[in-house]
Amino acid sequence: MKKAMMTLALLLTAVTMSAQLAGVKIAPKYQKGDSKLYRTMTTMNMGGQVVNLVGETRYTVTEATPQGYTLEVCLEKMDADSKESLVARMLMLTQGMTKGQKTIFTTDTDGRITDIKNFDETKAAAQKAAEAMFEQLMGEMPEAAQMLPKEAFLKQMEGALTKEAIIANVTANGNPLSLNGKTISTGTMDEGTDDNGRKVKNMYFLSAPDGSKVKVTTALNMTKEEMKQMVIEQVKQMMPEQAEMVEQSIDQLMASGMLKMEMSMTHNYEFLPNGWAKTITGEMKQNTMGQAIESSMKTELVGE
The answer as to whether 47 is a domain residue is yes
Residue 292's domain comprises 29-303
Number of domains in the chain: 1
The reported pLDDT for the residue numbered 290 is 75
User: How do residues 53-105 score in pLDDT, each as one tens digit?
Assistant: 999 999 999 999 999 999 999 999 998 887 667 777 777 777 777 889 999 99
Strands 68-80 and 103-107: antiparallel
The answer as to whether 12 is a domain residue is no
Residue 300, pLDDT above cutoff 80 = yes
CB of 90 closer than 8 Å to CB of 147: yes
For 212, which DSSP code?
Answer: S
Q: Within 10 Å of residue 190's Cβ, how many Cβ atoms? A: 11
The answer as to whether 281 is a domain residue is yes
Verdict on whether the full-model pTM lies above 0.75 = yes
Question: What SS3 state is found at 196?
Answer: coil
The reported pLDDT for the residue numbered 11 is 41
Residues paired with 44 in a beta bridge: 51, 295
Specify the CATH number for the domain of residue 245: 2.30.230
The reported pLDDT for the residue numbered 4 is 44
The reported pLDDT for the residue numbered 17 is 42
The answer as to whether 11 is a domain residue is no
Query: Residue type at 126?
Result: A
The reported pLDDT for the residue numbered 22 is 64
The answer as to whether 17 is a domain residue is no
Residue 1, pLDDT above cutoff 60 = no
The answer as to whether 264 is a domain residue is yes
H or E stretch at 151: helix 150-160
User: How do residues 147-199 score in pLDDT, each as one tens digit?
Assistant: 677 777 777 777 788 999 899 989 999 999 999 999 999 999 999 888 777 88
The reported pLDDT for the residue numbered 143 is 72
| Per-residue CA distances from 16 to 24, 156, 208, 270 (Å) | 11, 46, 9, 18
* Cα–Cα distance measured from residue 83 to residue 88, given in angstroms and rounded to the nearest whole number: 6
* Cα–Cα distance measured from residue 234 to residue 220, given in angstroms and rounded to the nearest whole number: 17
Q: Which are the contacts of 13, defined by CB distance < 8 A and separation ≥ 6?
A: none
